[in-house]
Amino acid sequence: MASAASSRDVARQTQSLRETLQHHEYLYYVLDQPNISDAEYDGLMQQLQALEQQHPELVTPDSPTQRVGGQPREGFVKAHHTAQMMSLDNAFGEQALRDFDRRVREKANLDVVDYVGELKLDGISMAVHFTDGRMIRALTRGDGLTGEEITENARTIRSLPLVITKKGIPAQFEVRGEVVMNRKSFERMNAQRLKDELPTFANPRNAAAGSLRMLDPKVTASRRLDFFAYSLLAGGEAYLDYHWDALEMLAGLGFKVNPHRERLAGIDAAIRYGNEWLEKRHSLPYEIDGLVLKVNSFEQQRRLGATSKAPRWAIAYKLTAQQAETVVEGIDVQVGRTGAITPRALLRPVQVGGVTVSRATLHNADEIERLGLQIGDRVLIERSGDVIPKVLRVIEEGKDRQPFPMPVDCPVCGTKLVREEGEAILRCINANCPARLKESVLHFASRRAMNIDGLGDVLVEQLVDGGLVKSVADLYRLDADRLESLERMGKKSSEKLVKNIDSSRKAALPRVIFGLGIRFVGERTAQILADHFASIDAIEKASAEELEEAEEVGPRIAVAIQEFFAEPRNQALLDELLQAGLQFSQEKKTVSKGAGKLEGRTFVLTGTLPNWTRDEAAERIEAAGGKVTGSVSKKTDYVVAGENAGSKLDKARELGITVLGEAELIELLEG
Ligand code: IVH
């Protein structure tokens, strides 16, 4: 009797340990939020291993101890899918996405379609079958109709739950999703393979695919794979009424569902989501090869149906082809704010990712030489995001190709160009060169500097060429009547511009420092200098050593600052700007009113706020001692959300972080 009771105890203890470990696996691998240390986890695991060793009859296939992989096999067994695992059609660029939406609306007879946006994870798909709450089989996609059984390998993926305890789900269901390897694991694995003199994998996708299809599951276990669920089926059909609800249910059951999903009402929201993530994709810990847009309602999905390969209710949104071939028809040079001369290829216009490109930067003379480029050559160009297109290489030399000699004199003011020692760049050193002046004015007025709205390049050109602006300080002498006399300037826009110029006098010190356009002094350095010295006067008086006492300021920046102040023309400019009433100083941080109110607090801003730009909100938070970061994590104290807030807001809710609106932020700032 006694021994029967104690063996029951052991069984109970084993089961309880197993559940505890499963819970911690969930916190660690699915939610990324462990609440015990690795050592504590290992301790619990060792206890379970010891118990299972003493009582082998208690070992279950879904015990956390079994994640290490079982016996190797000779080959894989094939099995049919419950329903075809389809692929997705691609849409390259916005127009293709709008065409998809039009087809959906026409076919489903809808005005506006509710979509769900998801990341298109770049891994390999897997179907996992559960019976009575236990994982019984996992299959690769194979040809879509039949896949290979990789159950033992799937068992080793820590973020795939093997036991589902929640009720309210059919006895038999299937979860489909993507197996990925994150960049870090990929890099670590390849580094190890290099050391072991093994061939490396070309990308995380190949690594995930190779690892999942290992005949020896122990090898799979040693590779850090992740499973993200994106579909829930029962009897080969969608479960529930809406895809969004199915995703929520999957998350509730303990599956890892990608947090960057979003409900999108209509195609404009979908395009905004798509472009946002295409741009941010490099910040993700794993690779994506686009976004997926799915019609939310399963009833509508059924009405839309599928072609032989892909559903009509979903589409993969991908980056447009970013490269194109064209002919270099000429080369000219531009003069930048610092006098730097940049050669530019004038191209036969060509479409690159939906945009017509007719210019590409050639950086400097050395680059032209490196490319072996001459006018008339056929070249490959590349455009990525907002960056200026560039020439990648010459594809074919032109028949009547002409070399391009870099100019000896500034093409704008005629001053002899100078090439400083050790520099690849030619410069116009005439501080009064109109080309330099135009660029300086544009920089001074730009959003992140003095933020003078309405001062664009056409107007600046008119102002400089017409002699109305001979230095940045002249901006503060412009009046509305004068402006109105210019071509294409009305009364209203002239008055508005004067008002904007006027209010820029109040721009904070860091903006003024940045706006001056001192070499190597970007926005961040300007902020650091303002914090450290609190006035332009103090920066000017500082020795090189004193300048270097400021964070991140090294000898190169210190020299550039001193050179700037040593130039008499800049001295004259500073006098005029001071007279114009610009902010040349600020209160020392420690004594400024309200400072420290948000000391030690970390904020993330998302969406459009009603009155403040995000930069303004960030400036105020920082002025009160708070810190503003770009992504939401457990360390975030507050998320300030405005209209159209996206995944950051979702993440905040997921992590239980306090979400504030603009009004609440003001309250917090004002105490
Ligand atoms: S849905 C019928 N959602 O992309 C729709 N697929 O080319 C089936 N993929 O084989 C797929 N992330 O391996 C869907 N969030 C996601 C996805 C995703 C990656 C992969 C999947 C599929 C391929 C389609």
Q: What is the pLDDT of residues 427-459, one digit of tens each?
A: 898 877 999 999 999 999 998 899 999 998 899
User: Which pLDDT belongs to residue 618?
Assistant: 86
User: Which pLDDT belongs to residue 3?
Assistant: 64
Mean pLDDT, residues 613-624: 82
Q: pLDDT band for position 178 (50/70/90)?
A: very high
User: Which pLDDT belongs to residue 8?
Assistant: 86
User: Which pLDDT belongs to residue 1?
Assistant: 45
User: Which pLDDT belongs to residue 497?
Assistant: 93
SS3 state of residue 574 = helix
Mean pLDDT, residues 549-576: 89
Residues 6+ away with beta carbon under 8 Å from 195: none
- Return left, alpha or beta for 166; rule: phi > 0 is left, psi -120 to 50 is alpha, else beta: beta
Residues 6+ away with beta carbon under 8 Å from 79: 137, 139, 146, 147, 148, 149
SS3 state of residue 599 = coil
Q: Identify the residue with better confidence: 569 or 579.
A: 579
Structure tokens at 252: 């509730």
Ligand 1, atom 21, residue with closest C-alpha: 125
* Strand ranges in 501-654 using DSSP code E only, listed in sequence order: 602-606, 627-629, 638-641
Q: pLDDT band for position 472 (50/70/90)?
A: very high
Binding site membership of 81 for ligand 1 (Cβ less than 6 Å): no
Binding site membership of 87 for ligand 1 (Cβ less than 6 Å): yes
Q: Which atom of ligand 1 approaches the CA of 122 most closely?
A: 19
Binding site membership of 140 for ligand 1 (Cβ less than 6 Å): no
Mean pLDDT, residues 165-180: 94
Do 538 and 509 form a contact (C-beta atoms < 8 A)? Answer: no
Q: Identify the residue with better confidence: 632 or 232.
A: 232
Decide if pLDDT at 590 tops 60. Answer: no
SS3 state of residue 539 = helix
User: Which pLDDT belongs to residue 387?
Assistant: 62
As a whole-number percent, the residues of the chain with pLDDT over 90 amount to 59
Ligand 1, atom 18, residue with closest C-alpha: 120
Which residue blocks in 217-324 are alpha helix, DSSP H? Answer: 217-222, 243-253, 267-280, 298-304
Ligand 1 center to residue 123 CA distance, Å? 9
User: Which pLDDT belongs to residue 309?
Assistant: 83
Q: pLDDT band for position 654 (50/70/90)?
A: confident
User: Which pLDDT belongs to residue 337?
Assistant: 87
Binding site membership of 232 for ligand 1 (Cβ less than 6 Å): no
Ligand 1 center to residue 335 CA distance, Å? 48
Binding site membership of 262 for ligand 1 (Cβ less than 6 Å): no
Binding site membership of 244 for ligand 1 (Cβ less than 6 Å): no
Binding site membership of 287 for ligand 1 (Cβ less than 6 Å): no
Ligand 1 center to residue 125 CA distance, Å? 7
**Residue 120 is among the residues annotated as catalytic for this protein:** yes
Q: Say how far apart CA 148 and CA 114 lie, in whole Å.
A: 35
Q: Say how far apart CA 495 and CA 482 lie, in whole Å.
A: 10
Do 259 and 131 form a contact (C-beta atoms < 8 A)? Answer: no
User: Which pLDDT belongs to residue 592?
Assistant: 40
Nearest to 150 by CA among 202, 86, 210, 236: 210
Ligand 1, atom 11, residue with closest C-alpha: 87
Mean pLDDT, residues 180-201: 85
- Burial track 28-37 (b if 16+ CB lie within 10 A, e otherwise): bbbbeeeeee
Ligand 1 center to residue 166 CA distance, Å? 26
- For the chain, how many helices (H) and strands (E)? 24, 23
Ligand 1 center to residue 294 CA distance, Å? 10
Over the stretch 101-143, which tens digit does the pLDDT of each residue have? 999 999 999 999 999 999 999 999 999 999 999 999 999 999 8
Q: Which atom of ligand 1 approaches the CA of 86 most closely?
A: 2
Q: pLDDT band for position 424 (50/70/90)?
A: confident
Binding site membership of 314 for ligand 1 (Cβ less than 6 Å): yes
Ligand 1 center to residue 86 CA distance, Å? 8
Mean pLDDT, residues 588-601: 62
Name the pTM for this structure: 0.55
Q: How many residues does this entry show for the chain?
A: 671
Over the stretch 47-84, which tens digit does the pLDDT of each residue have? 999 999 999 999 998 899 988 887 877 788 889 999 99
Among 121, 128, 304, name the best residue to mutate to test ligand 1's pocket (greatest count of ligand atoms within 8 A of Cβ).
121
Do 246 and 234 form a contact (C-beta atoms < 8 A)? Answer: no
Over the stretch 221-275, which tens digit does the pLDDT of each residue have? 889 999 999 999 999 999 999 999 999 999 999 999 999 999 999 999 999 999 9
Which residue blocks in 417-543 are alpha helix, DSSP H? Answer: 434-445, 457-465, 480-484, 491-503, 509-515, 523-533, 536-541
Pick the catalytic residue from 78, 107, 120, 634: 120
Among 118, 120, 176, name the best residue to mutate to test ligand 1's pocket (greatest count of ligand atoms within 8 A of Cβ).
120
Decide if pLDDT at 593 tops 70. Answer: no
Ligand 1 center to residue 134 CA distance, Å? 24
Q: Which atom of ligand 1 approaches the CA of 118 most closely?
A: 15
Q: Say how far apart CA 45 and CA 18 lie, in whole Å.
A: 8
Structure tokens at 50: 């010891």
